[in-house]
Structure 1
Amino acid sequence: MDRKRKRRRADVTGLELVGGPERLEVELHDYDERWADVYREHRARILTALADADVAIEHIGSTCVPGLAAKPIVDIVLVVPDITAEEDYLEALLASGYVLRVREPGHRLVRTPARDVHVHVYENGDAAVEEYLLLRDRLRSDAGDRALYESTKRELLRKRWEDMNDYADAKSEVIAAIKRRARAIAP
């Protein structure tokens, strides 16, 4: 999915956070092998919903890293040919039971009503997808960075977060350092 095609229309220009900010009220759980099963189940669900679309799907986030404690939310990245052509993917995802949470430039987020699966939608060629995969692969392969990331999350979760996005932003510095180390050893 390296080819980039011309968008059908201009993308949205701002952030639409459906339902507004949400307080983060989850805890870290020890790694659970069932998270991989949840991913496979939702991968199949997405592929069925988007049967005629040229998409790529990957398991991302902490739930895809064996041995890493995580919030029990399975994160999936879905790559579509044109993020602005929502009629090609969004309607089908909503019809298959996901709900829209975020619409912002270059990114859509749908999730289950139970909020236990988040599907991040990006356009083919978006650098964010490679960044997710870089972090995932580094955490899978480096025990030191995996431990650092887990301890950072544990420390941050000792605080009260009025918005889950603020918690995610607070991890940015550590994530950036881990990705720098991954790039330094990349072939």
Structure 2
Amino acid sequence: MPTAEEITRHDDGVPPDGLSPWVGDYRPRTGIEVVDPDPAWPERFAELRARVESALGDRALAVEHVGSTSVPGLPAKPIIDIDLIVADPADEPSYVTALEETGFRLVVREPWWQEHRCFTHDDPKCNLHVFPPDAAEPVRHRIFRDWLLGHPDDLALYRDAKRSAAAASNASGEHVMEYNARKQAVIREIYDRAFRAAGLLT
């Protein structure tokens, strides 16, 4: 279990000099699409979770729906975000091929940032984030999701930030990482409120 300090630390995960997180020819895409909430998103997650669990069996220690599509009423990019916990993400032979055989593609490798790996999936569209059991980021994701579920004012604040960031990024021809950066201040403001309410931050 990560410490309170690890959970509340805002870490950008900047790669060390000379290293890139991208696998092969994959690069972040431009054209940010933020759509109205879709009641089918939980069903898409259930389908993807079944694929992951079928591929990995008990190697999938947890499979959790996170991100904006996990929050009813919140606009989002129509891409399901999932956190997958495995015993050791650095042991790629134990899970990469099995996931690739069911339609996932490894696109990000960040051993310097909580051993994070990310896969994409085209149908349904998905970002599958892989972390070890002691990583802080999946805990942060759950705290953020659950806070928005219970705090409509912050849900509205984040909704407006997402739409504004998407419009600005599209107007400037920016990719998804730059879109994320435009939302960052609002995200961290909401995180800090949630952390204080949980007694993790004073």
TM-score by length of 2: 0.81
2: CA distance, partners of 1:125 / 1:162 = 33
Query: Where does residue 71 of structure 1 map in the other structure?
Result: 77
SS state of the match for residue 125, structure 1?
coil
Stretches of structure 2 that go unaligned for 5 or more consecutive residues are 3-14
Partner of 1:37: 43
The one-letter amino acid paired with 1:71 is: K
Does residue 127 of structure 1 match 2:133?
no
What letter is aligned with 2:185?
A: E
Q: How many equivalent pairs are there?
A: 178
Following superposition, the deviation at residue 115 of structure 1 comes to 7.7
CA apart distance, 1:20: 4.0
Return the offset for 1:151.
0.3
Any conservation in 2 of the 1:21–1:164 contact (CA below 8 Å)? no
RMSD: 2.0
Q: 1:84 and 2:90 equivalent?
A: yes
Q: Once the 2 structures are TM-superposed, how far is the Cα of residue 144 of structure 1 from its aligned partner?
A: 0.5
Q: What residue identity is the alignment partner of 2:178?
A: D
C-alpha distance in structure 2 between counterparts of 1:136 and 1:183, whole Å: 12
Cα distance in 2, alignment partners of residues 185 and 98 from structure 1: 37
Give 2:176's match in structure 1, choosing from 148, 160, 164: 164
| Counterpart check, 1:184 vs 2:196 | yes
Match of 2:146 among 137, 146, 149: 137
What is the CA distance between 1:23 and its match in structure 2?
3.1
- The 1-side partners of 2:60 and 2:27 are apart by 32
Cα shift readout 1:61-83 (whole Å, capped 9, x = no counterpart): 10000011111111000011111
User: Is the 8 Å Cα contact of residues 77 and 122 (structure 1) preserved in structure 2?
Assistant: yes
After TM superposition, give the deviation of residue 186 of structure 1 in Å: 1.5
